[in-house]
Amino acid sequence: MKQTIQEYLDALKGKKVAVLGIGVSNTPLIHMLLRAGVKVTACDKRSREAFDGKIEDLESLGTKVCLGEDYLEHLEGQNVIFRTPGMRPDLPQLSEAVSAGATLTSEMEVFFRVCPCPIIAVTGSDGKTTTTTIIAELLRAEGKVVYLGGNIGKPLLPDVGMMEPTDFAVVELSSFQLMTMDQSPHIAVVTNLAPNHLDVHRSMGEYISAKENIFLHQGHDDRVILNADNEITRSFAGSIPGKLTLFSRREEPEGTAVFLREGIIYVRDEMGERAVLPSKEILLPGDHNIENYMAAIAAVNGLVSDETIRHFAARFSGVEHRIELTRTLKGVRYYNDSIASSPTRTMAGLKCFPEKVILIAGGYDKHIPFDDLGPAIIEHVKRLILTGDTSSKIRSAVESASGYRMNAPIIEEYHAFRDAVEAAYRAAHPGDVVLLSPACASFDKFKNFMEGGNTFKQIVRELEE
């Protein structure tokens, strides 16, 4: 029988527990542990001043706090260590602590251990947040109680005590969260895979192996949904332990599948073949969102009615920071796609617009090649405005691509993000589209893509009529 959250917390009493990283995922975890009477040491490389009073609050509740660059040098004697997402599990300090007897885990790993309800989890290089959200909202529209979280921004472990066996947990999982996972969800979705996060992962192989953990520990009755149009995800089909569903926009896979035929999304399962959703009824623009719906429909097949799916698709306008219409000013439409932290995501966004756009791109260097992005920019962009650490790399990819001609597109570089946005404003004419789609992470200028997107929206709102 599965361990309950109370049984897990009771087992921690009397032990020393370290939580590494005092951020979005781990702060609620720290509070939950403290309420349960667990001794907690919270560690973070940032200084006390960076937390705006949060550290003093934690200390007042009994937390021992270790801050600064040597924050990982205080793990001696710890029995359980919670790592933050994005922290490699094989750091020397962590390996030393594990060798000394500590258990290394994470908020998400414990959640999988104690969650009392079915878990549907989504991973991939692109589209995972939109797909996760669609799945959760479809289940809610069908009248289910749904807990949505994970990499999408909300830790779920603190909520597990409220969950019932009839509820659903819908979780977005990053490669960092999956690296050490030894449990898999009841329904696993892999949207696609392309080079990403190679600044943290040592190789593309390691990145792929992390993603595979979403289904490798499934049982025979569990389900996995894979993108048949992506070479890497399709290759997983031979190694899954559970039941397979393939989805494809380009072909009609054999067996249980979701596919596009003459503009209509079909489902084929043990009950036969049926038309579910005309793609023209999907409010979200772009072929990639048709794929996101295919993945979601495969995940909720048998749980949500086709009528509910059709009604939802016609009114769902998308997730913030994902090709989000920010403002129409002087006939120019400004879109925020700050979630596009990889070249493939930006390429998908560019295909949403029939006209050539003014693209604002660039950011933190994750060591992902931009070779494929160059031709896509030549095809879909009339003015490229670059800002951030990767500006020169993206410029080089465009100028060295086949078909590039001088000033087609026009390329400008700006150090300040505001200067880049204002340059797009000056260059735009009625009928134009200005698209923020960085093709990179935002860490060179912002805490995360949300802060970058919100900054863009604020600057756009301040532009003069």
Indicate the range of 289-293, 294-298, 316-320, 402-406 predicted with least confidence.
316-320
Q: pLDDT at position 417, please?
A: 96
Asked if 204 contacts 184 with a C-beta cutoff of 8 angstroms, the reply is: no
Q: pLDDT at position 199, please?
A: 64
Q: pLDDT at position 212, please?
A: 94
pLDDT tens digits, residue range 63-86? 999 999 999 998 999 999 999 887
Q: Which of 49, 81, 105 finishes a domain? A: 105
Q: pLDDT at position 154, please?
A: 83
- Provide the pLDDT confidence category of residue 321 given band limits of 50, 70 and 90: confident
Asked if 222 contacts 243 with a C-beta cutoff of 8 angstroms, the reply is: yes
Asked if residue 148 and residue 283 are part of one domain, the reply reads: yes
Alpha carbon distance 27, 40 (integer Å) = 12
Asked if residue 121 and residue 255 are part of one domain, the reply reads: yes
Residue 252 belongs to domain with CATH number = 3.40.1190.10
List of residues 6+ apart from 81 with CB closer than 8 A: 17, 18, 19, 20, 75, 94, 97, 102, 103, 104, 105
Q: To the nearest 10°, the Cα dihedral for 165, 169, 175, 177? A: -60
For the chain, give the percent of residues with pLDDT over 90: 77
In a domain, 72, yes or no: yes
Alpha carbon distance 193, 122 (integer Å) = 12
* Average pLDDT score over the chain: 93
Q: pLDDT at position 198, please?
A: 61
The type of residue at 241 is P
Residues facing residue 123 across a β-bridge: 190
Asked if residue 358 and residue 309 are part of one domain, the reply reads: no
In a domain, 319, yes or no: no
Q: Which of 55, 87, 105 finishes a domain? A: 105
3-state secondary structure of 114: helix
Asked if residue 117 and residue 98 are part of one domain, the reply reads: no
The residue that leads in pLDDT, 202 or 342, is 342
pLDDT at 318 over 80: no
Asked if residue 147 and residue 277 are part of one domain, the reply reads: yes
Report the residue count for the chain.
465
In a domain, 249, yes or no: yes
In a domain, 199, yes or no: yes
Q: Which helix (H) or strand (E) holds 261?
A: strand 257-261
Q: pLDDT at position 69, please?
A: 92
Asked if residue 123 and residue 56 are part of one domain, the reply reads: no
- Provide the pLDDT confidence category of residue 196 given band limits of 50, 70 and 90: low
In a domain, 176, yes or no: yes
Asked if residue 231 and residue 171 are part of one domain, the reply reads: yes
Alpha carbon distance 435, 431 (integer Å) = 13
Asked if residue 95 and residue 171 are part of one domain, the reply reads: no
pLDDT at 361 over 80: yes
Domain total of the chain: 3
In a domain, 429, yes or no: yes
- Provide the pLDDT confidence category of residue 195 given band limits of 50, 70 and 90: low
| Tokens read off for 138 | 């479809």
pLDDT at 156 over 80: yes
Asked if residue 353 and residue 211 are part of one domain, the reply reads: no
Asked if 127 contacts 80 with a C-beta cutoff of 8 angstroms, the reply is: no
Residue 390 belongs to domain with CATH number = 3.90.190.20
Alpha-carbon distance values, 331 to 37, 146, 359, 430, 434 (Å) = 59, 40, 17, 4, 11
CB atoms within 10 A of CB 13: 11
Strands (E), 94-174: 103-105, 119-123, 146-150, 168-172
Span 45-65, average pLDDT: 91
The residue that leads in pLDDT, 353 or 168, is 168
| pTM (two decimals) | 0.78
Helices 373-380 and 391-399: angle between axes, nearest 10 degrees: 70
Q: pLDDT at position 52, please?
A: 81
Q: Which helix (H) or strand (E) holds 111?
A: helix 107-114
pLDDT tens digits, residue range 390-421? 999 999 999 999 889 998 999 999 999 999 99
Q: Is the peptide bond before 285 cis (omega within 30 degrees of 0)?
A: no
Q: pLDDT at position 444, please?
A: 82
Q: pLDDT at position 224, please?
A: 98
In a domain, 318, yes or no: no
Alpha carbon distance 313, 414 (integer Å) = 39
**Cα end-to-end distance, the chain, whole Å:** 63
Asked if residue 83 and residue 126 are part of one domain, the reply reads: no
Spatial strand order of the sheet with 80-82 comes to 64-67, 39-44, 16-20, 80-82, 103-105
Asked if residue 146 and residue 81 are part of one domain, the reply reads: no
Q: pLDDT at position 201, please?
A: 63
Four-residue CA torsion sign, 241, 247, 250, 255: positive
Q: pLDDT at position 368, please?
A: 86
- Provide the pLDDT confidence category of residue 205 given band limits of 50, 70 and 90: confident
Q: Which of 105, 127, 145 finishes a domain? A: 105
Alpha carbon distance 300, 135 (integer Å) = 7
- Provide the pLDDT confidence category of residue 374 given band limits of 50, 70 and 90: very high
How many helices (H) does the chain have, and how many strands (E)? Answer: 16, 20
Q: Which domain holds residue 270?
A: 112-313
List of residues 6+ apart from 129 with CB closer than 8 A: 151, 152, 172, 319, 322, 339
β-pairing, 272-278 with 264-269? antiparallel
Going by the DSSP 8-state scheme, the letter that residue 84 receives in this structure is P
Asked if residue 179 and residue 309 are part of one domain, the reply reads: yes
Q: pLDDT at position 443, please?
A: 80
Residues facing residue 67 across a β-bridge: 44
* Phi, psi (rounded to 5 degrees) for 464: -75, 145
pLDDT at 141 over 70: yes
Nearest CA-CA partner of 103 in 85, 78, 84, 76: 78
